[in-house]
Amino acid sequence: MPDFDLTPPTADQRVALAAALSPEERRVLLSHGTEAPFCGVFLDNKREGAYVCRFCGLPLFRSSTKFDSGTGWPSFFAPFATEHVKNIRDTSHGMVRIEIVCARCESHLGHVFPDGPRPTGLRYCLNSVSLGFVGEGEPLPDPLARGETAF
């Protein structure tokens, strides 16, 4: 597996990347929102490849770890690399949950729960709007111009 630079985007890069987002993408990625269930474009995606951060392009999950959780959001049992996803304690909405964000740009992705399938027992529940998809054999997006084009 190639190494990926996890250095955060510069302030100027953040401004440029944020300007390219739709209002819904800004609400979810930058303001920790949630998209409605059963409406995300990646919920039923069956293609082979990798799911990347919509904001910075970092690979987050492989299609081989995706499963149908029945929750209405794309679900995965393991990240692309553990260092690509950061866990944050979330006490909003009167409960304790674990929020997941991109380890490079800290964009909101969703939450992780301890009710997933084997081998991890985890369910990473993602907002489709937080993700991009790269099909097997296609180059990765490189919005930060770091030369990271293969997974």
Known binding residues: 53, 56, 102, 105
Annotated binding residues for Zn(2+), written as ranges, equal: 53, 56, 102, 105
List 29, 60, 81, 125, catalytic entry = 125
Would you tell me how many other CB atoms lie within 10 Å of the CB of residue 40? 19
39 is known as an active-site residue: no
Strand order in the sheet with 75-76: 66-67, 75-76, 123-126, 108-113, 97-102, 85-90
Nearest to 25 by CA among 95, 146, 130: 130
DSSP letter, residue 30: I
Residue 98 backbone class (left: φ over 0; alpha: ψ -120 to 50; beta: rest): beta
Active-site residue set: 125
